[in-house]
Amino acid sequence: MQKIKTVFFGSGEFAVPVLEALSRNQLIELVAVVTQPDRPSGRKKVLTGTPVKTAAMGLVPQVPLLQPEQLRKDQEKILEQFTPELNVVADYGQIFSEKLITSPEYKTLNVHASLLPDLRGAAPIRVALLNGYTETGVTIMLMSKGLDEGSVLNTKKIKIAANDNNKTLTAKLAQLGAGLLTETIPGWTSGVMAPQVQDEAKATYAEASVYNDENSRINASDTIAKTFDRIRAYSPEPGAWISIDFKGPKRLKIFSAEIAERKQNDSPENHKYKFLKKDKGLFLELHDGILKLNELQLEGKKRDTYGNYLFLAGLEGNY
Q: Where are the alpha helices (DSSP H) in 206-273?
A: 224-233
Task: Tell me: pLDDT of 319 over 80.
Answer: no
Question: Which residues have CB under 8 Å from 73's CB, separation 6+?
Answer: none
From 85-94, 169-178, 181-190, 271-280, the region with the lowest mean pLDDT? 271-280
Residues 30 and 116 in one domain: yes
Under a CB-based contact definition with an 8 Å cutoff, are residues 204 and 124 in contact? no
- Residue 293 predicted with pLDDT over 80: yes
Give the CA distances from residue 133 to residues 113, 128, 237, 285, in Å, rounded to whole numbers and listed in that order: 13, 5, 20, 24
Task: Give pLDDT, residue 172.
Answer: 98
Dihedral-angle region of residue 188 (phi above 0 means left; psi in -120 to 50 means alpha; beta otherwise): alpha
Domain-terminating residue out of 202, 228, 244: 202
What is the tens place of the pLDDT at every residue in 136-153? 999 999 999 999 999 999
Do residue 107 and residue 233 come from a single domain?
no
Q: Assess whether 181 and 248 both reside in one domain.
A: no
The answer on pLDDT for 184 being more than 70 is yes
- CATH assignment at residue 178: 3.40.50.170
Q: Residue 263's domain spans which residues?
A: 212-318
Are 81 and 149 members of one domain? yes
Among 233, 124, 235, which Cα is nearest to 176's? Answer: 124
- Residue 188: which of 47, 27, 40 has the closest Cα? 27
* pTM recorded for the entire structure: 0.94
CB 163 within 8 A of CB 235: no
- Choosing from 202, 234, 267, the residue where a domain stops is 202
User: What pLDDT shows up at residue 280?
Assistant: 86
Torsion 99-105-107-109 (CA) sign: negative
> Any idea what the CATH number is for the domain that residue 243 is in?
3.10.25.10
Q: What is the predicted pLDDT for the residue at 268?
A: 61
Other Cβ atoms closer than 10 A to 105: 11
Are residues 185 and 59 part of one domain?
A: yes
Residue 271: what pLDDT? 73
Q: Please state which of the ranges 58-72, 84-98, 204-218 shows the lowest mean pLDDT.
A: 204-218
- Do the beta carbons of residue 262 and residue 228 sit within 8 Å? no
Residue 303, classed as helix, strand or coil, is coil
Give the CA distances from residue 256 to residues 10, 66, 160, 163, 168, in Å, rounded to whole numbers and listed in that order.
Answer: 29, 37, 16, 9, 13
Confidence tier at 80 by pLDDT (50, 70, 90) = very high
CA distance 3 to 25: 10
Q: Is the pLDDT of residue 269 over 70?
A: no
pLDDT for 160: 98
Give the per-residue pLDDT at 134: 98
Picking from 265, 264, 254, the residue whose alpha carbon sits closest to that of residue 291 is 254
Residue 264: which pLDDT band, with cuts at 50, 70 and 90?
confident
Residue 12 domain-assigned? yes
Please check whether residue 256 lies inside any domain of the structure: yes
Cα separation values, 50 from 22, 176, 236, 264, Å: 18, 21, 18, 47
Examine the domain organization and report whether 144 and 28 are in the same domain. yes
Check pLDDT > 80 for residue 270: no
Q: Do 257 and 164 have their domain in common?
A: no
Task: Give the whole-angstrom CA distance, residue 258 versus residue 252.
Answer: 17
Taking all residues of the chain, what is their mean pLDDT, rounded to a whole number? 94
- Measured between alpha carbons, how far is 311 from 246 in angstroms, rounded to an integer? 10
pLDDT at 35: 98
Does any domain span residue 239?
yes
What mean pLDDT do residues 10-23 have? 98
Instruction: Dump pLDDT digits (tens) for 213-238.
Output: 889 999 877 889 999 999 999 999 99
- The residue out of 202, 237, 252 marking a domain boundary is 202
Residues 18 and 47 in one domain: yes
Query: Is residue 24 located within the same domain as residue 138?
Result: yes
Q: How confident is the model at residue 266 (pLDDT cuts 50, 70, 90)?
A: low
